[in-house]
A and B are shown apart, each in its own frame.
Chain A
Amino acid sequence: MATNTLSTEKKFTWGGGKSPFSVSYGKLMMWIFLLSDAFTFSSLLIAYGFIRYSFQSPIVNTLIKPFDHLSHEFVQEMVEKTKYFVQDHWPSPELVFNHFPFIHGVHLPLFFVSLMTFILIFSSVTMVLAVEAGHRMAKDEVSKYMLLTIIGGAAFLGCQAWEWTTFIGEGARLYGNPYGPRSFAALFFIVTGFHGFHVFSGVVLNVIIYINVLAGTYQKRGHYEMVEKVGLYWHFVDLVWVFVFTFFYLI
């Protein structure tokens, strides 16, 4: 903004009678809601960062490499908490999240989580394509991309359900786990659960909007702004996953 236009600009921008942010009420409120939601996720991140750093670093695994078969002795060693999983050390994520559906007994760290990340990035793209089609009032394209987004979200939720089932099957609970500090599984369940709940709400909202798109509600209204609003929410969910992926699995 140039300095010489500042005074008139200010008078007109905040003088009433028009939106100072150039966005509709609903979109502005969605942004403010997302900001408050980001605060909630940040509080969980603060708890995670504090608790994780107050424990000793994970013990470096030198025995097993990716694609190795998980030998009986090695699993025994992990389960008996003798070498890698002890109470004073944060467990190494590569030894905990190393399973993949239908492949048993192979050490595959990060593979499944990467797949989940790709699914969520892709569903984010289809969402923004639906928003873009909405600007052109192309109803068929909006409905096509909305459907793809819903499928992506549902696939992500399915992956998360599988991951939780495996994790719980190995003995992880909110109050304890066989990997080390109690707070490890508790934080995992709370953070991924809170994120998964957001994905679930997003899918429900997307389904409602999808039905409205099919019914032609927004075509009659003359704009597809509702698609933009749920789009903002959906991208936020993707954004949170970027950081969950970074802090829980990569680091």
Chain B
Amino acid sequence: MEHIEEHFEHTETPADMKSQIWKTFWILLGFTVVDIFIYFMLLSTHAMWKNWVFIILGIVKAYYIVGVFMHMKFERKTLMYTIIVPMVFVVFFVTLMVIEGDFTNLLRWGK
């Protein structure tokens, strides 16, 4: 990962933008293929760890889409945090509600 570009304090497009776009495209395509590969490897099983792999790969893909395609990596840090910090809390909320759903499951089906 290029950490040099992250220190840009103004929104300038890097000179090698075109190659970065294609690199990101191959990364996104590759991760999607990995997703599908794991899906078919573990089809019809209850392996819990595959769900975590799917979620982590989803977050990695989100990083590349927001970072390169939406130009966020090259924006000012203030704008970056304005958008990212609220989303961190939202992800926390999603996690809480999934846990809550698990408790509801317990009450309904009482395992």
Contacts and interface: CB of A to CB of B under 8 A. Distances in A.
Chain A interface mostly helix, strand, loop or mixed? Answer: helix
Contacts of A23: 11, 75-76, 79
Contact of B101 (A42, A53, A110, A121): A53
Contacts of A1: 9, 77
A227 interface: no
A46 B94 contact: yes
Given A88-B109, A94-B43, A129-B21, A243 B87 contact: no
Contacts of A124: 65, 69
A163 interface: no
Interface string B86-102: 11001101100110111
Interface in B8-22: 9-11, 13, 17-18, 21-22
A53 B54 CA distance: 17
Interface in B21-40: 21-22, 25, 28-29, 32, 35-36, 39-40
A57 B13 CA distance: 47
B18, B45, B90: residue with the most chain A Cβ atoms closer than 10 Å: B90
Range for the number of chain B residues in contact with chain A: 35 or more
A49 B82 contact: no
Nearest to B38: A250
A246 B54 contact: yes
A110 B13 CA distance: 37
A75 interface: no
A124 B45 CA distance: 33
Contacts of A42: 90-91, 93-94
Contact of B79 (A21, A39, A117): A21
Interface of B: 9-11, 13, 17-18, 21-22, 25, 28-29, 32, 35-36, 39-40, 43-46, 51, 54-55, 57-58, 61-62, 65-66, 68-71, 75-79, 82-83, 86-87, 90-91, 93-94, 97-98, 100-102, 104-105, 108-109
B80 to A, nearest CB: 10
A125 B25 contact: yes
Contacts of B66: 235, 239
Given A31-B83, A250-B54, A251-B54, A125 B102 contact: no
A174 interface: no
A235 B69 contact: yes
The 4 A-B residue pairs whose C-beta atoms are closest, nearest first, are: A53-B101, A54-B104, A50-B101, A49-B98
B90 to A, nearest CB: 5
Contact of B17 (A28, A46, A132, A251): A132
B18 A31 contact: no
B44 A53 contact: no
Contacts of A53: 98, 101-102, 104-105
Contact of A118 (B29, B61, B86): B29
Contacts of A243: 58, 62
